[in-house]
Amino acid sequence: MKRSREKAASELFAALYPRLAGWCRRLVDDDETAHEIASEAFTRLWARWTSVAEPRGFLYVTAANLVRDHWRKIERERRAVHRFTTEAAVRPHAEQADPSVRLLVRSLPERLRVPILLHYYADLSIREISVVTGRKEGTLKADLHAARELLRAHLRRSLDHTL
């Protein structure tokens, strides 16, 4: 019984994956994304294999939902980038900030530097930074805290040396 289900699943994959991936490709205009979506649709089908009456329909509905999610993500990213570039053109450039602070920010590890730049220099919210970077909001909050602590410690040492 198990062997016949595995064979049926294998045959279904061979028969439908190329068409499903091609259909997704026409919708998202990117080979890699199309294959990710088609693969995810099959993964979701396998998780429900015994309860799905019409696998082909399930695959296409699932892929359509994943494509829609992809389009939403792209639109959110486009809006965030547009806002970032618009505000960056209007706001004073970071180069006008205190050079020592700028150098300290530049010296931070990328994982801490990017959220600092996007939050304090581009004035993006935690949620917007999460959308742009694909990182969880809680992680970004923790990274911002860690970055502020590092900057605070560096500035405190700098002030101690100048006094």
Domains with residue ranges and CATH for the chain: 2-79 (no CATH), 92-162 (1.10.10.10)
Looking at the predicted structure, is the pLDDT value of residue 92 above 70?
Answer: no
More confident site: 101 or 148: 148
Looking at the predicted structure, is the pLDDT value of residue 95 above 50?
Answer: no
Name residue 2's amino acid.
K
Measured CA to CA, the distance from residue 60 to residue 80 in angstroms comes to 30
- Confidence tier at 162 by pLDDT (50, 70, 90): low
Nearest to 34 by CA among 19, 15, 55, 14: 19
Q: What is the mean pLDDT of residues 38-50?
A: 93
Question: What pLDDT shows up at residue 32?
Answer: 96
Looking at the predicted structure, is the pLDDT value of residue 86 above 90?
Answer: no
pTM above 0.75, yes or no: no
22-36, 51-65, 144-158: the lowest-pLDDT one: 144-158
